[in-house]
């Protein structure tokens, strides 16, 4: 029998034919004259009959093997694998979209709804905002201020609070007192000088015409801002994230998503300060198996592993890191996390679904810490709770390769190498370092050449020959254009 306690084994077509011929000789030997042997050659009547039925028997055996494999997580493929992992609550991830951090600028009081459309000026591809942004004085990366009242010997104060305020500094005032004969220009210049001199570790200020633009030092740094009644915040810039409407690998260089597709009154501009984190094609069988095994941590009682599992099970989520701090003091490694908090970084997936999964699985009384996403979640009693987490930023990787080619090197071989290197780098997870030596694997997947030199780095024309360290809240990103190939 093919199925034994050692598993399922079955004969191949050649074995089936030989077995049938042997059996035919046994069954029909008494029908031939003594001294002769039953003719089972391929051109005989019995041989031809065996040749007709043998392929069907082989197909039946192979089908039985496929049915047997359909119940084995390590062997099942396609729909059979989908059915197995579904029993454990894990569904195959569909093709995902490129995720890109953006900056939204406009007038205070403007609401830009989730799903609002922006486009890549190079390709015309549409991108949708993942969450609603209200342009106000909270969590801004820049604000444009104007003078409402010009008066002599009067205090003008801007107060800012870093967000999240991990050091509990509260509101930090920036105050100047106007002199005699004060003007709009002199007041703005004094405020700018005060900021650039005494608050330069958090803010920078520039006078533009009759306004003052106050900005944080990086797009990932945000502050809450208030002003006294003689000042006015007219426009602000805040962060959000967009998802490409097309799934799969879509390269989004920095400063390419700059067009508002559907105008909103009060929304002035959009831009992406860094490259997008490329999406992926539909999850492969090997990837689904690996994720299923990870997700089964959720069957345990450990809340951290259950939370990790719940987030990973959300459609579109590609990578998750989770750092827990159960100490009475803040930690700085592997990530800066306040006391009695946990910090989550998630690539892909709906922000609302991620926030809900965190709320449903987080320990009671423990802060869900994050710096780029803050979502309100309702509990079963209708009360609102604030859940925070992070989206990773892209760390652009550049690769320079010098090769010598051989006669079997394809005409588009250089493009194949570029695509293979970029694809490999884009499969790295959040916070996963780029290991220098592993780049040779995608490079050598293209035949007909050998590598003379290989350098990597985070800027064009790289010279590094060591691993590239990726931050805890970063993800390595690369486009084919970032891979330079020279032939010598």
CA dihedral 487, 484, 475, 277 (to 10 degrees): -120
Instruction: Identify the pLDDT of residue 284.
Output: 82
- Per-residue pLDDT at 107 exceeds 70: yes
- From 143-147, 190-194, 322-326, 411-415, the region with the lowest mean pLDDT: 322-326
Summarize pLDDT for 306-339 with one digit per residue, the tens. 788 788 878 888 888 888 888 889 888 888 899 9
Helix (H) or strand (E) holding 143: strand 142-147
Q: Which residue has the tokens 């996963």?
A: 432
How close are the terminal C-alpha atoms of the chain, in Å?
Answer: 61
Which pairs with CB-CB distance under 8 Å and at least 24 residues apart come from 358-365?
358/307, 358/310, 358/311, 358/387, 358/389, 359/385, 359/387, 360/310, 361/303, 361/306, 361/307, 361/310, 362/303, 362/307, 362/387, 363/303, 365/340
Q: Are strands 393-396 and 474-477 parallel, antiparallel or unpaired?
A: parallel
* pLDDT (0 to 100) of residue 1: 47
User: What is the number of H-type helices and E-type strands within the chain?
Assistant: 9, 26
- The predicted structure's pLDDT at residue 295: 64
Distance separating alpha carbons of residues 241 and 339, to the nearest angstrom: 28
How many Cβ atoms sit within 10 Å of the Cβ of residue 35?
5
Instruction: With H, G, I as helix, E, B as strand and everything else as coil, classify residue 168.
Output: coil
Query: Where is average pLDDT lowest: 137-141, 371-375, 408-412?
Result: 371-375
The more confidently predicted of residues 144 and 427 is 144
Note the pLDDT of residue 166: 63
Determine the average pLDDT of the residues in 392-407.
93
Answer whether residue 294 shows pLDDT above 70. Answer: no
Parallel, antiparallel or unpaired: strands 211-216 and 203-208: antiparallel
H helix intervals, 297-349: 303-312
Query: Residue range 376-385: average pLDDT?
Result: 81
Mean pLDDT, rounded, for 299-309: 67
pLDDT > 90 fraction of the chain, expressed in percent and rounded = 50
Task: Point out the least confidently predicted range of 195-204, 347-356, 359-368, 395-404.
Answer: 359-368
In the predicted structure, residue 67 carries a pLDDT above the cut 70: yes
- pLDDT tens profile 209-229: 999 999 999 888 899 999 999
- The helix/strand/coil state of 45 is helix
Q: How many whole angstroms separate alpha carbon 295 and alpha carbon 219?
A: 33
Is residue 303 scored above 60 in pLDDT?
Answer: yes
Rounded to 10 deg, the angle between the 351-361 and 303-312 helix axes is: 160
Q: Is 197 exposed, middle or buried (0-12, 13-18, 19+ CB in 10 A)?
A: exposed
pLDDT at position 371 is 84
pLDDT range class, residue 100, cuts 50, 70, 90: very high
Phi-psi region of 318 (alpha: psi -120 to 50; beta: other; left: phi over 0): alpha
What residue spans of 121-233 are helical by DSSP H? 184-198
pTM: 0.55
> In the structure, what pLDDT confidence band is assigned to residue 12 with cuts at 50, 70 and 90?
confident
Cα separations in angstroms, 475 against 81, 234, 321, 425, 464 = 29, 35, 11, 9, 19
pLDDT at 162 over 50: yes
User: Which of 66-70, 319-323, 375-379 has the least mean pLDDT?
Assistant: 66-70
DSSP 244-303: EEEES-----TT-EEEESS--TTEEEEE-SS--B----SPPHHHHHHHHHHHGGGGSS-H
Q: What angle in degrees, to the nearest 10, is found between the helix axes of 285-295 and 78-87?
A: 10
Give per-residue pLDDT as tens, 413-464: 999 999 999 989 988 888 889 999 889 989 988 999 999 999 999 999 999 9
Q: What is the mean pLDDT of the chain?
A: 88
Buried/exposed code over 329-361 (b: 16+ C-beta within 10 A; e: otherwise): eebeeebbbbebbbbbbbbbbbbbbbbbbbbeb
């Amino acid at each position: 029998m093919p199925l034994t306690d050692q598993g399922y084994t079955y004969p191949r077509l050649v074995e089936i034919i030989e077995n049938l011929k042997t059996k035919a000789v046994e069954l029909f030997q008494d029908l031939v004259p003594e001294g002769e042997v039953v003719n089972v050659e391929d051109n005989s009547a019995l041989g031809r009959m065996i040749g007709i039925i043998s392929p069907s028997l082989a197909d039946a055996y192979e089908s039985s093997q496929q049915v047997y494999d359909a119940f084995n997580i390590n062997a099942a493929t396609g729909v059979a694998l989908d059915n197995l992992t579904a029993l454990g609550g894990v569904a195959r991830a569909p093709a995902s979209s490129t995720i890109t951090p953006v900056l939204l600028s406009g007038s205070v009081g403007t609401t830009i709804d989730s799903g609002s459309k922006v486009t890549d000026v190079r390709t015309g591809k549409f991108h949708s905002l993942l969450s609603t942004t209200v342009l106000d004085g909270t969590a801004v990366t820049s604000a444009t201020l104007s003078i409402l009242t010009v008066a002599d010997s009067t205090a003008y104060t801007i107060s800012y609070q870093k967000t999240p305020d991990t050091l509990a500094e509260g509101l930090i005032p920036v105050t100047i007192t106007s002199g005699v004969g004060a003007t709009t220009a002199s007041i703005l210049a004094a405020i700018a000088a005060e900021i650039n001199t005494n608050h330069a570790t958090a803010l920078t200020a520039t006078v533009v015409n009759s306004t003052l633009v106050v900005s944080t030092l990086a797009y990932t740094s945000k502050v809450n801002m208030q002003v006294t009644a003689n000042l006015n915040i007219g426009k602000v810039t805040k962060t959000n994230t967009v998802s490409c409407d097309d799934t799969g690998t879509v390269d989004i260089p920095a400063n390419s998503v700059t067009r508002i597709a559907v105008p909103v009154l009060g929304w002035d501009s959009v831009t992406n300060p860094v490259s997008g984190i490329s999406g992926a094609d539909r999850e492969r069988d090997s990837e689904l198996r690996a994720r299923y095994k990870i997700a089964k941590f959720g069957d345990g009682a450990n809340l951290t592993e259950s939370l990790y599992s719940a987030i990973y099970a959300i459609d579109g989520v590609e990578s998750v890191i989770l750092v827990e701090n159960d100490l009475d003091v803040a930690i700085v490694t592997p990530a800066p996390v306040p006391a009695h908090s946990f910090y989550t970084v998630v690539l892909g997936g709906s922000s609302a679904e991620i926030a809900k999964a965190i709320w449903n699985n987080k320990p009671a009384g423990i802060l869900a810490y994050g710096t780029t996403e803050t979502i309100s979640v309702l509990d079963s009693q209708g009360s609102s709770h604030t859940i925070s987490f992070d989206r990773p930023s892209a760390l652009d990787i550049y690769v320079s390769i010098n090769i010598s080619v051989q006669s079997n090197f394809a005409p588009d071989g250089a493009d194949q190498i570029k695509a293979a290197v970029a694809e490999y780098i884009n499969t790295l997870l959040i916070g996963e370092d780029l290991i220098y030596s592993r780049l040779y694997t995608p490079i050598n997947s293209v035949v007909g050449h050998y590598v003379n030199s290989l350098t990597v780095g985070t800027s064009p024309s790289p010279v590094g020959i060591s691993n590239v360290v990726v931050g805890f809240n970063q993800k390595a990103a690369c486009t084919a254009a970032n891979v330079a190939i020279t032939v010598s």
